[in-house]
Amino acid sequence: MISTGLFFENLRIALSSIRSNLLRTILTIFIIAFGIMALVGILTAIDSIKSSISNQFASMGANSFSIVNRDSRVKIGGRTRPNFYRSIEYREAMAFKEDFTFPAQVSISTFASQTSTVKYKSEKTNPNIPVIGSDENYLFLSGYEIDKGRNFNPNEILSNAHVVIIGSGLVKEVFAKNEDPIDKIISIGSGKYKIIGILKEKGSSFGSTGDDLCILPITNVRQYFSSPNMNFRISVLPQNSTLLNAAVNEAEGVFRVVRKLRSIEESNFSVETSDNLANLLIKNIRYVTMAATIIGIITLFGAAIGLMNIMLVSVTERTREIGIRKAIGAKSSIIRRQFLYESILIGQLGGFFGIILGILIGNVVSMLTNGIFIIPWFWIISGVVLCFIVGLVSGLFPAIKASKLDPIISLRYE
């Protein structure tokens, strides 16, 4: 058992040795710091992105689910062949909304166009504006909030009203600074619509901009943006989040009846939950995490070799000092601990600076990608442990070599 006094004495000797070889020590610390910085920095950014994904899907309603048309591709014998499923029709969506008695909010929506042009006076956008047809529940279930104006009312949905809710991105594109868009008339395609609401800014996510869009009453879209096989999406938000699974099962059963499916037939539609999509994206990010971990470990392996080399040089330079210590009664175990403490201390200093730089760089990357600031306690603790292992492994061989030196030969060493 090492006494407290002996521990601090060995620590003082280690610090003294570090100060006497400052340049060499600093270079070693920076090698270790670079490895930890790469590891902690990349993994901090990844954790921040994961958190951002979870938050974005939570804002879309983590406890909601959607009934959508089933993917029209199947794999047979390693080859993908088309297997066409008919679209969800408006009458089916409305029948579901009427028959679904579960305590939940239901919304029906559809994409009218992905390539519309919005005009106001002499200003117009590029032909890349998505137009969505929806009912009055769509905004709440999709995570949108009204910044100015109001939502659709039921009468506007029933009467095919020419009103529109637009994203904040469109306001910046087609309206002059400080101009109030509410009650202004804009052109969407060949139709004219009065603006009744402006959405709060959501920002970009997953390569798309959620602020450049137009939302029209779904009945208006059916009349003026009608197309063959128009496909509708049904979104459901249970009033009690703990009943999500029950609501999914109930909804699937009701919609099977609406689609007139027999009990032996598979469902020709899909039920998607927001958290499943988030988990799928996070699962794909794990490969980036693995790559970052491997890069960091390889860098630390190089740092361990460099630290061992420097410790061996230190043993050679301090051979006479070791001989003097042994001659006045220092045991081999004490000499071994002195060099181990020095190696571990250098490793921990490198880890400290590497963790600080890693957190800063990781969060800078996170902010550039609209992520959030986080402190990755798991990776901080992992960095400290890794640096301890690097210091211990790198210092073990030099420490054993120093402890085995013969005091007589060491005293004669020049």
Best mean pLDDT range from 81-90, 99-108, 140-149, 209-218: 99-108
Rounded Cα distance, 8 and 20, in Å: 18
Best mean pLDDT range from 1-5, 84-88, 149-153: 149-153
pLDDT digits (tens, 9 = 90+) for 71-91: 644 443 444 444 567 889 999
3-class SS at 198?
Answer: strand
For strands 191-199 and 185-188, give the pairing: antiparallel
Best mean pLDDT range from 16-25, 256-265, 320-329, 392-401: 256-265
Q: Say which amino acid occupies 277.
A: L
How far is residue 123 from each of residues 174, 180, 228, 312, measured CA to CA in Å? 5, 15, 31, 73
pTM for the predicted model, two decimal places: 0.57
Residue whose C-alpha is closest to residue 180's, from 193, 163, 198: 198
Is the four-CA dihedral 182, 186, 191, 197 of positive or negative sign? negative
Angle at which helices 332-368 and 22-59 pack, to 10 degrees? 40
pLDDT class of 296 with cuts at 50, 70, 90: confident
In this model, does residue 118 exceed pLDDT 90? yes
| Cβ 159 vs Cβ 136: under 8 Å | no
Q: What is the pLDDT of residue 80?
A: 43
Q: Could you write out the DSSP letters of every residue in 246-304? A: HHHHHHHHHHHHHTT--TTSPPSEEEEEHHHHHHHHHHHHHHHHHHHHHHHHHHHHHHH
Rounded Cα distance, 140 and 239, in Å: 13
